[in-house]
A and B are shown apart, each in its own frame.
Chain A
């Protein structure tokens, strides 16, 4: 178990180095610099411009800037946002719960609807039900998120008036954040209607962000179920008199979960990149929107640090999924 972790850690270091190099270069390739964008349309005196660039260390050669950045990182310092002057880490940690909340809801949505859909499709293989589920999930998988989000807003918010267009909760409610998770905070605040408001704000972003994982989970569940149902041990269980529902769940689904868990793990990366689009469209104040805003302001430290932290989250989640995988699959568990 320990050697397994050490092996994984050995891979993490080069990954992080690669991430720093790519974000550092890409953000500097973009035209404009943070000082110009801070000044905005008023423009800025060239002497003041040069002075501020020097204060930020942007007048140094790129190699020196990168060296300094990595040196800071090694000492655990992600730097300060140019715009807010806050540390990148504190900005990230303030906004992170909002993204986590959205991501957890989206994954839950995907699993709650994707697993049963896949199971139903597999048990009704070749019927109209099966074809409908495959067709819908293929459509969902191929759906451009921003377009899908706009369609849903048009239908649910504009036409039907069921859900708000953006934000996390109605402005009439205010309470101090306790956990940072709006669903929990609004619940414990005890204010009438606050929780319902939070749920209504969360609904559309969850559906949009959860659509691709939902389709992926449904398709993988279906094929893994079909595979499991054809195995000898399912027939052997029938030969012992195990009823159909238990065959489907205890035996077929339990085995089908092994590849499905892998797919969910792979979807975590998809989810975080999807969060950037989803949060921007719904003005959801999370990491995705913060990153997009930081890119627009050429806030170099914020972009570099933010992407690095997101990479760290993805790596950690994948590690957790690996542990979960061992728990789901006894053959792996005992091999270690």
Chain B
């Protein structure tokens, strides 16, 4: 039984101009100890899907799913009180901007010990001890546990966020673009830290990113999202070597690393469709170089191909 099994997750936001589907028919399974990457452009629904799994979508957002099984509990059906005991303890999340995700009124130590307290982790002294222990694990100097968020650099604040996340020894860590706002030199440290923790703690990792370089070295399987739908899913090696979906293909072709010194970078024209301009047929067809008449008419289904899943009428033939 997988650790996490999300099936047919839908998240939509209702506004005055209508209903905007942010995530449609999203499915994902993660085995215990596995590392999965979710990639896609901004607005593809990567973060929203994970926030929905955590139960963090608030009205006017609407969440529905056939199931969201985690460790034998269906998070889509369970009582909020039951879910709260799982969230932060067995599933933890690290966010994109550490500075705004730390409460400015409290010290880092308070944040870590609060997490431990709400999940009934021992007594005060035990919590203090555990806070020092996790601070060491993430390379956060324990002497600075009394520091307030505004006194920390971005990299240190992200280490503090990670310390809070792993404090209760979660089975699954969701990292939502954990390095996007950090300096390049610090980015590599944080990714290395997450991978090391995953190994030593034996926890599963969902890494939301749009950095293909990180994907290549950090995760075993990749899910590519486009406009709220999964367009391709495959093992990392296969996906990077031989992408089947034209979108994945174009994403990889646009990587600077693959185009060093060969003239201007190839770009994907246009933008991810928003609420009001979702096209008929395949969502990607207006930007797809291979699109034909059928793509405008008929939405492709997600189907198995070359050991993965792809949502395309005419997958790219590699080799």
| Residues in chain B near residue A251, CB distance under 8 A | 103, 105
Partner of B164 from the list A238, A240, A250, A331 (CB cut-off 8 Å) is A240
Most buried by B among A233, A237, A240, A250: A240
Q: How far is the CA of A331 from the CA of B93 in the complex (A)?
A: 26
Given the contacts A240-B114, A240-B164, A242-B118, A330 and B105 also touching, CB distance less than 8 Å: yes
Residues in B neighbouring A237, C-beta threshold 8 A? 103, 114
Q: Is B89 an interface residue (CB 8 A)?
A: yes
- Chain A residue with the shortest CB-CB distance to B115: A240
B56 close to A240 (CB less than 8 A) = no
Closest to A231 in B: B100
Q: A236-B95, A330-B148 are in contact. Are A241 and B103 (CB under 8 A)?
A: no
Complex CA distance for A96 and B216, rounded to whole angstroms:
74
A73 shortest CB reach to chain B, Å: 43
Nearest-CB residue, chain B, relative to A258: B105
A243 interfacial contact with B, CB 8 Å: yes
Q: Which of B87, B100, B103, B104 is the one whose CB lies under 8 Å from A239?
A: B87
B119 touches A241 (CB 8 A): yes
A235 adjacent to B56 (CB under 8 Å): yes
Question: Which listed residue, A236, A241, A255, A330, touches B84 by the CB 8 Å rule?
Answer: A241
- Shortest distance between the CB of B106 and any CB in chain A (Å): 8
**A330: nearest chain-B partner, CB-CB:** B148
B97 on the A face (CB < 8 A): yes
Contact of B150 among A238, A239, A240, A330 (CB under 8 A): A330
A246 interface hit (Cβ, 8 Å):
yes
The interface residues of chain A, by DSSP majority, are classed as helix
A residues less than 8 Å from B97 (CB atoms): 232
Shortest distance from the beta carbon of B249 to any chain A beta carbon, whole Å: 34
Indicate with 1 or 0, residue by residue over B82-94, a CB within 8 angstroms of chain A CB atoms: 0011111100110
Query: Are A239 and B84 interface neighbours, CB within 8 A?
Result: no
A28 at interface (Cβ–Cβ under 8 A)?
no
| With A233-B100, A330-B150, A334-B150: A238-B89 Cβ-Cβ less than 8 Å | no
**In the assembly, what is the distance between CA of A334 and CA of B146, in Å?**
12
CB <8 Å contact, B150 and A331: yes
**Interface of chain A residues 215 through 271 with chain B (CB within 8 A):** 231-243, 246, 250-251, 254-255
B293 CB → nearest A CB, Å: 44
- B54 CB-CB contact with A under 8 Å: yes
Q: What per-residue 1/0 map shows which CB atoms of A167-188 lie under 8 Å from chain B?
A: 0000000000000000000000
Closest Cβ–Cβ distance, residue B25 to chain A (whole Å):
24
In the bound assembly, the distance between CA atoms of A330 and B107 in angstroms comes to 9
Interface string of B152-173 (1 = CB under 8 A from A): 0000000001001000000000
| Chain B residue at smallest Cβ distance from A236 | B101
Decide if B148 touches A240 in the complex (CB within 8 Å): no
**Pair A241/B150 contact, Cβ less than 8 Å:** no
Provide 21 A-B residue pairs closer than 8 Å at the C-beta atoms, listed in order of the A residue.
Answer: A232-B95, A233-B100, A233-B102, A233-B103, A234-B103, A237-B103, A238-B56, A239-B87, A239-B95, A241-B86, A242-B88, A242-B114, A242-B115, A243-B84, A243-B118, A255-B103, A255-B104, A255-B105, A329-B105, A334-B148, A334-B151
| New contact pairs (19) apart from A251-B105, A331-B104, CB-CB < 8 Å | A233-B100, A233-B103, A234-B103, A236-B102, A239-B88, A240-B115, A240-B118, A241-B85, A241-B87, A242-B88, A243-B118, A250-B114, A251-B103, A255-B103, A329-B105, A330-B104, A330-B105, A330-B150, A331-B150
